[in-house]
Amino acid sequence: FSNSFERVAYIESHDEERFLRDLDQSGFSTEEAVRRDVTALAITLTAPGVAMVYAGEEFGESTPKVVGPNPLHWSNMDKPVFRGLYDDFRALAKLRTSHPALRTQAVLFQTSALPDNTIVYERAAPDAGRVVVAANFGREPQSVPVALDSPGPWANVLQTNQPAIAGPTNLVVELQPGGALILSCGK
């Protein structure tokens, strides 16, 4: 590829088993599996390039892949845990389609003082805002340092009931196993 916009970012496709099914078969609780799915969607939808979300991934489809008819189970939307997943997906999709920082190729990784199995990165658009993503891929809760270099205000994309954060500031956020924090400022 000649640039980061030429690749496709995804977690599920017609060639792989569904992510939630894999997590369930690996012994993850439904709560942690959905948290990990939200994190996977957050990374997919904040990464440079074309984002692909496979049919039903946004509301917790976890049936096995089969050759032939494989209908979606829309009844998942009636379950609070999967309705929450869908609401988080909608917030991430809105961020993806509306925030100028997610149209740039730039990705700045925070590299100092991060615990094992964590990542923090920032996408920025000059004079148009920033998006910061912090994720914990581990099996234990982690205290993750997050530097917010812009004045903000910074909004929590997934927990909109949280107050805005003034910046610049250095936060330490507690991320559950498989959890993520997505903050945005500007637009």
Lowest-pLDDT range of 6-10, 27-31, 74-78: 6-10
DSSP secondary structure string for all residues of 62-111 = -PPP-SS-----GGGGGSHHHHHHHHHHHHHHHHHHH-GGGGSS--EE--
Lowest-pLDDT range of 62-66, 88-92, 134-138, 180-184: 62-66
For the segment 116-135, the average pLDDT, to the nearest whole number, is 96
Residue 3 reports pLDDT greater than 80: no
Six token digits for residue 45: 């939808």
Give the angle 136-133-83 at the CA atoms, nearest 5°.
75
pLDDT level of residue 146 (50, 70, 90 thresholds): very high
pLDDT in the model for residue 7: 87
What's the one-letter identity of residue 58? E
For the segment 149-156, the average pLDDT, to the nearest whole number, is 92
Q: Which residues contact 186 (CB under 8 A, 6 or more apart)?
A: 99, 100, 101, 125, 128, 129, 130, 150
Residue 42's CB is within 10 A of a number of other CB atoms, namely: 26
Give the angle 113-116-120 at the CA atoms, nearest 5°.
60
Model pLDDT for residues 58-112, shown as the tens digit of each residue: 999 999 988 888 899 999 999 999 999 999 999 999 999 999 999 998 899 998 8
pTM of the model as a whole: 0.94
pLDDT in the model for residue 181: 97
